Amino acid sequence: MRIGELSQRTGVSRRSLRYYEDQGLLSSSRSGSGQRHYPEDAVQRVALIRQLFGAGMSSRVIATLLPCVDLPDDPTVAEETFEAMLRERNRIDADIAHLVETRAALDEVIKANTRHRERLSSEPRPG
């Protein structure tokens, strides 16, 4: 199928599909006139790529995970993919911890602002 059909079937823009290809996440063959042609399983591949992007993974990380899909019986690929997934999970855990700390700091600022607003509203106004 050509890029327009893949775009239509997946809901992914042509530009994004070209980006996926540039990043090594998706592949196509070329016609004599240079048009991209994708196999039928590209629809599922794009769905997986979108799911991984939706989980917050970068194209670099996704590129390290996809060989496990392409070569599921290769123990070396399985091990490399497992390690990449653990690194990604650790990164996400660190991001969550940082967000929790940031929220706690914001909560303190909100408390201080609430006290300040209460003082302002209870003080007599001049004039």
Say how far apart CA 77 and CA 71 lie, in whole Å.
Answer: 7
Q: What does the block give as tokens for 22?
A: 């540039």
Distance CA 66, CA 42 (A): 13
Structure tokens at 126: 């001049």
Hey, what are 73's tokens? 């019986």
pLDDT in tens, 42-97: 999 999 999 999 988 899 999 988 988 888 898 998 898 899 889 989 998 999 99
Percent over 70 (pLDDT), the chain: 99
| Domain 3-122, second-level architecture | Orthogonal Bundle (1.10)
User: Strand, helix or coil at 40?
Assistant: coil
Tell me how many degrees the CA angle 10-15-18 measures, rounded to the nearest 5. Answer: 85
Question: Where are the chain's structural domains?
Answer: 3-122
- Beta bridge partners, 2, equal 37
pTM surpassing 0.75? Answer: no
pLDDT in tens, 21-45: 999 999 999 989 989 999 999 999 9
